[in-house]
Structure 1
Amino acid sequence: MKLVMAVLSSAYADEAVEALLQKGYRVTRMSSTGGLLRQGNTTLLIGAEDAQVEAVRDILQQHAPGALWIVLPLERYERF
């Protein structure tokens, strides 16, 4: 299991989240700020199986150009 963290322009957030949800991914969306101009960004947290990481990347590339993404291993992932 992996945790994909993606930081993208808020202008692309709605489209990217909708595309991920349509494919069945669970997404947590948070507002974030950073960079030289302190522009508004959105940070997405996406839980994905190892085999799904490339599909998540493809969705982000298609719907959120310029997004920064980080993939972290998860030892434990639970839904209550």
Structure 2
Amino acid sequence: MKLLLAIVRSDFAGDVISALNEHDFRVTRISTTGGFWRRGNVTLLIGVEDEQVEEALKIIDANAGPSIEPEVAATAHPPHRATVFVLGVSAFEHY
């Protein structure tokens, strides 16, 4: 089992959450701020089975906003559409 910790821009978080929910992924949303630009972000916590990681990453990528233009991506501090950490989980419980 894995825990995806996805940091997405707040203006696209609703789209990402809706798309994940449509594919039966449960999502916990936490509002956060940080990074170089200090703009509002949302941190999503998504518990998935190992074989679901790639599907969830594709959904996040497809819904995290428009692609960054190449000239913007080449700047010193380009904005990111999403940052995702994939963490191993030793146990998972529902109560």
Into which bin does the TM-score normalised by the smaller protein fall? over 0.9
- Kindly provide the amino acid, as one letter, of the partner of residue 11 in structure 1: D
- 5+ residue gaps, structure 2, are 66-80
CA distance in structure 1 between the aligned counterparts of 2:20 and 2:12, rounded to whole angstroms: 12
Q: Which has the larger radius of gyration?
A: 2
CA distance in structure 2 between the aligned counterparts of 1:16 and 1:60, rounded to whole angstroms: 6
| Identical counterparts, % of pairs | 44
CA distance in structure 2 between the aligned counterparts of 1:70 and 1:36, rounded to whole angstroms: 18
Deviation at 1:36, TM superposition (A): 2.1
Higher strand proportion, which one? 1
TM-score w.r.t. the length of structure 2 is 0.81
The list of structure 1 runs, each at least 4 consecutive aligned residues, that deviate by more than 4 angstroms after superposition, is none
Q: Which has the higher contact order (CA 8 A, sep 6+)?
A: 1
Q: Out of 88, 91, 94, which is 1:73 matched to?
A: 88
Deviation at 1:35, TM superposition (A): 1.5
- 5+ residue gaps, structure 1, are none
- Kindly provide the amino acid, as one letter, of the partner of residue 41 in structure 1: N
